[in-house]
Amino acid sequence: MRGMCASVPHRSNRLTIHAAHREGNEAVHGEYKVPNGKLVVVDLDVEEGVLRNVRVAGDFFLEPDEAILSIDGALEGAPASTDAAGLAARITAALPESAVMFGLTAEGVGIAVRRALARATEWSDYDWQLVHTEAQAPALHMALDEVLTAEVAAGRRAPTLRVWEWASPAVVIGSFQSLRNEVDPEGAARHGMTVVRRISGGGAMFVEPMSTITYSLSVPDSLVSGLTFADSYAYLDDWVLGALGDMGIKAWYQPLNDIATDAGKIAGAAQKRVVGTDGGPGAVLHHVTMSYDIDADKMLEVLRIGKEKLSDKGTRSAKKRVDPLRRQTGLAREAVIERMIDSFRTRYGLTRGGVTDEEMAQAEKLVRTKFGTAEWTARVP
């Protein structure tokens, strides 16, 4: 669908208020949702390069009550250049031995401080747009990821959640993977699999249209300011963990880029940073492929999983490693997607939009010149 819906401008950044100057001090505000935990909120001043008037709050649980004062005191006077690990170390050293934290970690507080100092924005600072159109060819999906994220990076598109529908089965390899090492060409041809290469790193994705749920987040770089590369994965995955929890699935982020349950891996993520143009803020592409169902035997015929590397026992382990959502929820694929979208909308707001004609034209050009070419697909032979 080449919708004519224009991009929705994001809300005014509320951090312009939090970063106001007060009597020569710089007041900043930061928030961080601890993975599988609670929200940590930090307000502080920066005076002559050190932290002052630190106030930590949130919906976490902490015993004894006085421990919150120990956390504030540990951060008071810390150099503003201290990294998250250094801040966490100060907190750990200051807490009484009797302190017990639920939904809170010293590392989480340190990250919240770094996000405050980096002027990070929050999910709720934006009017999010949903793009969920009819099925597209694999190469066009690769191109749309690049185009829409570049538009967010340039400030011409609102932050976007794009839910993919696949027109045909595919193998999607990471930007730096070797084509010959990852894909069996005979197996791919036998099963009608199109092989494409994406712009992000990470491993190969085995895709069958009705067995896969894929989505992309194209977000301003400021949303992950103050986070390490690894922390940004957990941060951008948190909403979908909540959505899965609402469906009765206890899932967690498994470093570096997996989502797992007690039954096994259910999803893998990948990211790409995009530099802003025309004064734009820059952006991050974070996309996730979830296994709704899987034909593990077919996957092993198409991907070179263990043909030289794994023993028979290892191959059996590879087949068991991915545990699909269908078996864990009993819900139809469409119902899982709808519940995910509803969960995002409830948390942050979400307006249905579309891909503009200009964006689609750019994407189709990229298919012809890049993503649909043998040169790009085999750029790492």
Phi, psi of 264 (to 5 degrees): 135, -175
The CATH code belonging to domain 123-377 is 3.30.930.10
Secondary structure of 234-257 as H, E, C letters: HHHHHHHHHHHHHCCCCCEEECCC
DSSP state of 372: T
In the chain, which residue ranges form alpha helices assigned H by DSSP? Answer: 15-18, 67-75, 84-94, 106-117, 138-153, 179-182, 185-190, 229-246, 296-302, 312-321, 325-329, 333-348, 357-366, 374-377
- The rounded average pLDDT for each run of 10 residues, N- to C-terminus, in the chain (381 residues) is 38 36 71 92 97 98 96 98 97 96 96 96 96 98 98 96 98 97 97 98 96 98 93 94 94 91 91 86 95 93 69 43 81 97 97 98 98 98 95
H helices of 54-137, where? Answer: 67-75, 84-94, 106-117
Domain parsing of the chain, residue ranges: 20-117, 123-377
Pairing of strands 100-102, 61-63: antiparallel
Query: pLDDT at position 48, please?
Result: 94
Q: Which two tokens stand for residue 137?
A: 């060819």
Query: What's the predicted TM-score (pTM) here?
Result: 0.87
Pull the structure tokens for residue 21: 């100057």
Residue 279 pLDDT: 76
At residue 7, the pLDDT reads 40
Q: What pLDDT is stored for residue 172 in this prediction?
A: 98
| 114-173 residue pLDDT tens | 999 999 999 999 999 999 999 999 999 999 999 999 999 999 999 999 999 999 999 999
**CA 218 to CA 221: how far, in whole Å?**
9
CATH assignment, 20-117: 3.30.390.50
- Look up residue 18 and give its two tokens: 């939090």
